[in-house]
Amino acid sequence: MSRGWEMECVRRIEADVQRSADTHLVPMPWPGFPGITLYLKDESSHPSGSLKHRLARSLFLYALCNGWLREGRPVVEASSGSTAVSEAYFARLLGLPFIAVMPATVSVQKQRAIEFQGGRCHLVADPTQVYAEATRLAREGGGHYMDQFTYAERATDWRGNNNIAESIFSQMAREPHPVPAWLVCSAGTGGTLATLGRFVRYGRHATRVCGGDAEHSVFFDHYLTRDPALTLERGSRIEGIGRPRVEASFLPDVIDAMVKPVDAASFAAMRWLSSRLGRAVGPSTGTNLLAALACAREMRERGVQGAIVTLLCDSGERYRDTCHDLAWCQAQGMHDAALERAVHASLNGGAESPPWRLAGVLSAARSSS
């Protein structure tokens, strides 16, 4: 184990931080909700294109400082999406081979995005075997399995170090409502929600945290029941969020409310926001927007003004051939014109609720299942 090599790796990562600017916070007036301003934390502007740039950086520093990485040895991850793209970016920065283990059904576009960052894609026929295969490849290659689902909440410094929550609060400092009423994000590993929930408690802020969940995922029901054994036969249809099993980095005790819209509603919200911003956002940002909508409706009902901050997790450019292609959505049975109109009406301030489930402080009488 060469300490000199480890030190050089840490220097390179810190230099990468120094070269990079923080991601923007974009205010978006919400005409249907007077006195409530929505802010989008635009994580698509990171060098590797998504919120996972922060997590990948933290995971590499955590593994390095635990002495888990070896010069020239592979880093392996079980991921087909944003995390693999961002981890490939940092592996290349450190001169390490990177292998992303994923189901064989993953789109060529996503494989290209990982290969563009210098990574290699290892396909498996049975999606449930990705974790075991990643462990095997790391062991046989004398490398390290990064395991985002286990280490996301441990590797991230939730007290500061420019984590996403600290960045949001410092960028809100000169806004009319510097302390947001709500911070809103959906869960993939659960690491981002864990950081938001811990930071607001550590900072003694009155801000509440709301989590979004995908239709085919266990997080919402785990939040309701705390049953750790919940599983589902199938995976989520929203890239990056929703899980068929309860993940170690999902911490329900730091979440004040959850919102679970149907996937077609998340796609409708993704299109509503893309047209307002004049650029395409990813589907998990659509789920975030609907969770933020539930928070705005709760504030409007109580006659409260203030700020809601949610994440623009990644760009819609990655989904040109999938959820930003209406024919593809129709073919997947995930487009319904009437539902699309209803979701847009509610985002424009209308009284109708989108098809969603609510939990925590948002639930009470407002749940419309």
Ligand X SMILES: Cc1ncc(COP(=O)(O)O)c(C=O)c1O
Residue ranges binding ligand X (CB under 6 A): 50-52, 81-83, 152, 186-192, 239-241, 282, 284, 313-314
CB of 250 to ligand X, least distance (A): 8
CB of 350 to ligand X, least distance (A): 27
Which CB atom, from 33 or from 319, has the smaller least distance to ligand X?
Answer: 319
Which CB atom, from 183 or from 187, has the smaller least distance to ligand X?
Answer: 187
**Would the CA dihedral through 32, 167, 195, 100 be positive or negative?**
positive
Which CB atom, from 284 or from 346, has the smaller least distance to ligand X?
Answer: 284
Sequence length of the chain is: 369
Query: CA–CA distance from 144 to each of 8, 60, 133, 138 (Å)?
Result: 18, 10, 12, 5
Which residue of the chain is nearest ligand X when measured via CB?
A: 240
Compute the distance between CA of residue 101 and CA of residue 27 in angstroms, rounded to an integer: 37
Which CB atom, from 69 or from 155, has the smaller least distance to ligand X?
Answer: 155
CB of 287 to ligand X, least distance (A): 8
| Long-range own/partner contacts, residues 342-345 (CB < 8 A, 24 or more apart) | 343/265, 343/268, 343/269, 343/272, 343/290, 344/268, 344/272
CB of 61 to ligand X, least distance (A): 16
CB of 9 to ligand X, least distance (A): 23
Q: What are the counts of helices (DSSP H) followed by strands (DSSP E) for the chain?
A: 13, 11
The burial of 175, by beta-carbon neighbours within 10 Å (0-12 exposed, 13-18 middle, 19 or more buried), is given as middle
CB of 93 to ligand X, least distance (A): 20
Which CB atom, from 165 or from 343, has the smaller least distance to ligand X?
Answer: 165
| Distant-in-sequence, close-in-space partners of 277: CB < 8 Å, separation ≥ 6 | 26, 28, 40
Which CB atom, from 33 or from 89, has the smaller least distance to ligand X?
Answer: 89
